[in-house]
């Protein structure tokens, strides 16, 4: 079988960020509004620091305002809630994101649910999760939204396709399943307790791997011609160089021999997450003010 088509998330994300920048310019010109995104980072986790820096940079490149709040690892829950409260009330702030994970003394769910739902650009608040589950308009989590945009771009309408999502997290697996259901896929959510996971995965026209296990999904799990979306970002040792390298949840070399199309790691789903965050911030800036999104989004 020929090698799978590569789904270039990096290129798609550049295009999407360009569209967001156009929408931001139109919002400014027609309504005098500059969207603002506040990113809160508690502690000094190196990976989180890299994400937050990239988010800030790309926010400014899209023509939006970026507000960064870096708090020490010893911050109390009450202090963080006080900051969220002030951002909820700040009219220059359209989107609020608190980088996860937060330190142990802070309850992540309490913080997420303290963010005003109309500013919850991560789409993690129970109100937004409930809206997604019931088919109402709300803010949708960025990584699954990015996966869906790639799938629709590559496959066109998804109706009737069999989709298997491996992983049941609130951040990716569950919202991904909801989005695919909304597109009229037949959706299976598989996880660590699923019996005969390879056989379940082999039923999928669309296979989404979001488990956080390096190269777990191998070619023999893939139905010939299937579209494989790899959400994993795992840092592993590279014995050839003695350094670390990034790999997905899919064993790219074997899966690409069987799949019809596949996202690489890096350069697949990863770049789509921030692009969708910027899109959500633009959407929040419009919806919060009752500005119609057609012509802007
Ligand atoms: N940590 C890892 N991914 C994410 C994300 O999408 N949003 C937030 N807030 N934290 C994260």
Given the CA of residue 141, which atom of ligand 1 is nearest to it? 6
Number of domains the chain is built from = 2
Same domain for 176 and 84: no
Q: How many Cα atoms sit within 13 Å of 213 on the Cβ side?
A: 9
pLDDT tens, residue by residue, 168-194: 999 999 999 999 999 999 999 999 999
pLDDT tens, residue by residue, 229-254: 999 999 999 999 999 999 999 999 99
Same domain for 148 and 94: no
Q: What is the CATH number of the domain that holds 208?
A: 3.40.50.720
**Quick check: 282 pLDDT over 80?**
yes
**Quick check: 290 pLDDT over 90?**
yes
Residue 259 lies in a domain: yes
Q: What is the CATH number of the domain that holds 73?
A: 3.40.50.10860
122 is catalytic: yes
Q: Identify which of 207, 199, 249, 260 has the alpha carbon closest to the alpha carbon of residue 229.
A: 207
Of 100, 106, 123, 144, the residue with max ligand 1 atoms within 8 A of its CB, to mutate for a pocket test, comes to 100
Residue 134 lies in a domain: no
Residue 97 lies in a domain: yes
Same domain for 238 and 146: yes
Residue 186 CB-density burial (10 A; 0-12 exposed, 13-18 middle, 19+ buried):
middle
CB 132 within 8 A of CB 170: no
CB 30 within 8 A of CB 87: no
Q: What residue ranges line ligand 1, CB within 6 angstroms?
A: 97-100, 122, 142-143, 171, 273
Same domain for 179 and 103: no
Whether residue 163 is preceded by a cis peptide bond, meaning omega within 30 degrees of 0, is: no
In angstroms, what is the span from residue 99 Cα to ligand 1's centroid? 5
pLDDT tens, residue by residue, 198-227: 999 999 999 999 999 999 999 999 999 999
State the Cα–Cα distance between residues 105 and 82, nearest whole angstrom: 15
For every residue of 39-53, DSSP letters joined together read EEEES--HHHHHHHH
Same domain for 174 and 77: no
Share of the chain above pLDDT 90, in %: 98
Same domain for 87 and 157: no
Same domain for 180 and 77: no
Residue 242 lies in a domain: yes
Same domain for 56 and 112: yes
Given the CA of residue 142, which atom of ligand 1 is nearest to it? 6
Residue 275 lies in a domain: no
Residue 122 lies in a domain: no
Residue 57 lies in a domain: yes
Residue 62 lies in a domain: yes
Residue 106 belongs to domain spanning: 33-117
Mean pLDDT of 151-159: 98
Instruction: Provide the whole-model pTM.
Output: 0.97
Given the CA of residue 100, which atom of ligand 1 is nearest to it? 10
CA triplet 172, 160, 249: central angle to 5 degrees? 30
Same domain for 155 and 105: no
Catalytic residue among 58, 94, 120, 122: 122
Same domain for 227 and 153: yes
Mean pLDDT of 90-99: 98
Centroid of chain to Cα 65: 21
**Quick check: 2 pLDDT over 80?**
no
pLDDT tens, residue by residue, 46-73: 989 999 999 999 999 999 999 999 999 9
What is the enclosing helix (H) or strand (E) of 71? strand 65-71
């Amino acid at each position: 079988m020929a090698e799978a088509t590569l789904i270039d998330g990096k290129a798609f994300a550049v295009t999407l960020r360009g569209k967001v920048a156009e929408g931001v310019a139109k919002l400014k010109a027609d309504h005098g509004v500059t969207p603002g995104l506040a990113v809160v980072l508690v502690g000094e986790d190196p990976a989180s620091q890299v994400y937050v820096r990239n988010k800030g940079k790309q926010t400014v490149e899209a023509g939006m305002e970026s507000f960064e709040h870096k708090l020490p690892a010893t911050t109390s829950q009450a202090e963080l809630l006080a900051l969220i409260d002030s951002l909820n009330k700040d009219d220059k702030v359209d989107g609020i994101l608190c980088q996860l994970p937060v330190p142990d003394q802070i309850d992540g769910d309490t913080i997420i649910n303290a963010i005003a739902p109309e500013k919850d650009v991560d789409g993690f608040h129970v109100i937004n999760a409930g809206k997604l589950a019931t088919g109402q308009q709300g803010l949708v989590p960025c990584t699954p939204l990015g996966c869906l945009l790639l799938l629709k771009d590559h496959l066109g309408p998804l109706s009737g396709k069999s989709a298997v999502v491996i992983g049941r997290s609130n951040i990716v697996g569950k919202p991904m399943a909801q989005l695919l259901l909304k597109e009229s896929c037949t959706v299976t959510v598989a996880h660590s307790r699923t019996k005969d996971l390879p056989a379940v995965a082999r039923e999928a026209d669309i296979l989404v791997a979001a488990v956080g296990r390096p190269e777990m999904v191998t070619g023999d799990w893939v139905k010939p011609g299937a579209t494989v979306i790899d959400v994993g970002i795992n840092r592993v040792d590279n014995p050839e160089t003695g350094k670390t390298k990034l790999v997905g949840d899919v064993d790219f070399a074997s899966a690409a021999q069987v799949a019809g199309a596949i996202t690489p790691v890096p350069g697949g789903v990863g770049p789509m997450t921030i692009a969708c965050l910027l899109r959500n911030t633009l959407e929040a800036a419009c919806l919060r003010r009752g500005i119609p999104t057609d012509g802007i989004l």
